A = this chain, B = another copy of it.
Amino acid sequence: MSRTFRLVVACPDRVGIVAKVSNFLANYNASITEANHHSDLATGWFFMRHEICADSMPLDLETLRAAFAPIAAEYAMQWRITDSTEPKRVLLMASRESHCLADLLHRWHSGELECSIPAVISNHDDLRSMVEWHGIPFHHVPVNPQEKDEAFAEVAELVERYRADTIVLARYMQILPPALCDQFANRVINIHHSFLPSFAGAKPYHQAYLRGVKLIGATCHYVTSELDAGPIIEQDIERISHRDSIADMVRIGKDCEKTALAKGLRYHLEDRVLVHDNKTVVFA
């Protein structure tokens, strides 16, 4: 994979944005490998992502950012430029269930996920050996109902120590404190085991069983302080029937969870997700 810069922009829509940005890039001889635009006619907002061959430009990352800043200011852009050779630092959090964690670790280990994983935190010690086999530090931080504050202070300290820029709740089963959600807005990714907004909250497979649905699913979303209500990045579903017990649904649902989480995380890592008004634009 050769080095690329990713220019990601969201701003109020108006005539000439693409021309302005394209001229800017063409003037520096930028070779664009992928470009995506979206005009949201309902909100009047514009979204854009360019992936640029880094070697084609005579600028380093910092100079490029400085050169682009005036355009960003002119158009009131929310923007970032990232470098594919500086992968995000993803801290994984899990509980006892191993399927999502094992899936992400294997994808990372085989080079499919473009990130580093500086550490894994769990409120149980069960998955330590699996994590350590991958050469990743494992931290057991029990979450005692009476001492949640202490536990999450330790989590926050670890997040800080490992300089994480993304947190993934790989079936963590605990609710993060609002302060951490706010600090990592649009950077905490959760997998919920239902096709939201159906069956938010606890025991979604039990809820699905009782309602007698014919499809179950999973939802990958950014965490906000409102439970299971954050911007949805990806959803996946699988067909079930009357023959499927709750145990079957749990088993079948695991594959949805793994797929939706892995896709959602990959989009995030490649700067393909833009959030606006509690909804996502995903340039998949």
Contacts and interface: CB of A to CB of B under 8 A. Distances in A.
Interface string A98-111: 11001100100110
Contact of A41 (B18, B33, B280): B33
Nearest to A230: B212
Contacts of A27: 19
Chain B CB within 10 Å, residue with most, of A35, A214, A235, A251: A214
Given A19-B26, A35-B18, A213 B242 contact: no
Interface in A16-49: 16, 18-20, 22-23, 25-27, 29-42, 47
Interface of A is mostly: mixed
B102 A106 contact: yes
B245 A41 contact: yes
Given A242-B40, A259-B255, A281-B242, A215 B217 contact: yes
Q: Which 5 A-B pairs have the closest CB atoms?
A: A212-B279, A19-B26, A19-B22, A16-B26, A35-B37
Interface of A: 15-16, 18-20, 22-23, 25-27, 29-42, 47, 56, 98-99, 102-103, 106, 109-110, 112, 129, 133, 195-199, 211-215, 217, 231-235, 237, 241-243, 245, 251, 254-255, 259, 278-282, 284
20 contacts: A15-B26, A16-B26, A18-B32, A19-B22, A19-B23, A20-B26, A32-B37, A37-B37, A38-B242, A41-B245, A98-B106, A98-B110, A106-B106, A195-B213, A197-B213, A211-B232, A212-B279, A213-B232, A241-B282, A242-B282
